[in-house]
Amino acid sequence: MTEATHSHAGHDHAGHDHAEDKKLSPVCEVSEAGPCKLKLRVEIAAARVKEEVDGKYRELNETMALPGFRKGHAPRAIMERKFGKALLEDLRFELVNRAFEEVREEKKLEPVAEPHIEIDKLVVEEGKAFAFEFTLEIRPKVELKNWEGVKVVKPPLAAEDKDVEAVLRGYQESKAELVPAEDGVAREHDQLTADFQLSEGGHAVDTAENTALFLDSEITFYNVPLPDFHKAVEGKKAGDVVDVPVKLPDDFPKKNHAGKDAVLKVTVKGLKRKKLPEIDAEFLKSFDMDTLDELKEDIRKKVLREKETHARAAMADQVVDAIVQENSFPLPEGLVISGAEEALRRMHLDLAMKGVGEEEIKKSVEEQKNQSKEGMEKALRIHFILEHIAAKEKIFVTEDQVEERIGQIATQYGKWPHEMKAYLEEQGLLAQLRRRMREELVREFLLSKAVIEEKAP
């Protein structure tokens, strides 16, 4: 809640339950301070402040024994000298938190971010009212028009022979076995076994022996993508040595080498290649099929279903874009700025992990600044519009639907559903999953209210 941190008075209020606290009943004046922004002045009456101060001293007296006094019998004046400053500092933090919660509830405020209150500048004085001011960004008021009957075009869908063949080859590759490469020459998608030595400034930094990896553009090294590594090794044979230049990431474990240009020496030891299985009776049986035509027909249906799913998602995007264009409303500026900054930080990190130089990163981030802000504005507008429609039309996600989705995700990752759920809870991602699922339902609802025009093939 605060910009300034607060220090604790060397004592603990364990056992003091604020749910049972008497209300502070602050007086609050609210005025508009801009789009989606309110200015609030909150004041707690002097008598209530005195009650809270007295209560704190009582509590302290009961829980702490001062030299020469039994618990609960220390004179107030001594306690004020010894603990007064720290006690009042602690109390101001508590008063601000509790008063804000009461005001939020009473005024039915919907903040989109924590208020900034400079607590260090506030002073609690016994016998005086305690007041503080702050600005608060709130959710925009959304009143939608022209969101039903949006016209969208559905493209013609067909599962072509090349789509079917690509899936069939994928099936074969999933059952392929690795055999020594007959020609002994490295090709893309081969499995390479090699010794690796990493050197920087002429000094060996790291080594790995008999390490196997597939030669493709997905190879990473200390989380840095090496999309061209496989090209450097292609055409090489066992015994050949290749030097591949790499840039060490800024978080490289050996700090004195971090961020520097290095060389990865690759000594080829062996090469294996995928041998695809024949499409015979045994292969077909593994898919519960009797003939190749049957398998192809099954693949065709799956490809068509997938294309239908993608087409519906694209049409939903068209509907949402049309609604966004029709409906303009002010957005919380702080939320736009913080979201855009977060996107730029992610971009900076991604580029750094790809080994891009600092100057190049700065230039890219600068170029992206305006687009990042525009992108964040659109994303927030979509978020508030979909939430508004979900609330208005009472669209929500059931726990059964959430459990079912967790089961699907668990299957993809080869985990048990309860393991996946525990992981999502641990990472704080369950609320995000529910929100995404709710937005999916809203998008489907909007599509049901749209006018869909089918394009002739």
Q: Which residue has the tokens 């979201």?
A: 339
What is the identity of the amino acid at 344?
L
C-alpha to C-alpha distance for 188 and 214, rounded to whole angstroms: 8
Whether the CB-CB separation of 137 and 111 falls below 8 Å is answered with: yes
CA dihedral over 221, 222, 223, 224, signed as positive or negative = negative
Mean pLDDT, to the nearest integer, of 333-337?
90
Number of H helices, E strands in the chain: 11, 12
Nearest to 147 by CA among 446, 369, 453: 446
Structural domains in the chain, CATH included, are 18-137 (3.30.70.1050), 177-275 (3.10.50.40), 331-386 (no CATH)
Mean pLDDT, to the nearest integer, of 324-333?
93
Query: So what's the pLDDT on residue 64?
Result: 83
For residue 14, pLDDT over 60 is answered with: no
Q: Which residue has the tokens 């509830």?
A: 105
For residue 445, pLDDT over 50 is answered with: yes
Whether the CB-CB separation of 112 and 137 falls below 8 Å is answered with: yes
**What does the block give as tokens for 354?**
């790809």
Q: What region does 274 belong to: left with phi over 0, alpha with psi -120 to 50, or beta? A: beta
**What does the block give as tokens for 405?**
């989705």
Residues in the chain, how many? 457
C-alpha to C-alpha distance for 287 and 294, rounded to whole angstroms: 10
pLDDT band at 11 (very low <50, low <70, confident <90, very high): very low
**What does the block give as tokens for 258?**
């971090």
C-alpha dist (Å) from residue 328 to 142, 378, 388, 392? 9, 10, 14, 18
For residue 162, pLDDT over 60 is answered with: yes
Q: Is 452 helix (H, G, I), strand (E, B) or coil?
A: strand
- φ and ψ of 387, to 5 deg: -65, -40
Q: What share of the chain in percent tops pLDDT 90? A: 73
pLDDT band at 1 (very low <50, low <70, confident <90, very high): low
pLDDT band at 123 (very low <50, low <70, confident <90, very high): very high
Query: So what's the pLDDT on residue 17?
Result: 45
Average pLDDT for the chain? 90
For residue 250, pLDDT over 60 is answered with: yes
For residue 138, pLDDT over 90 is answered with: yes
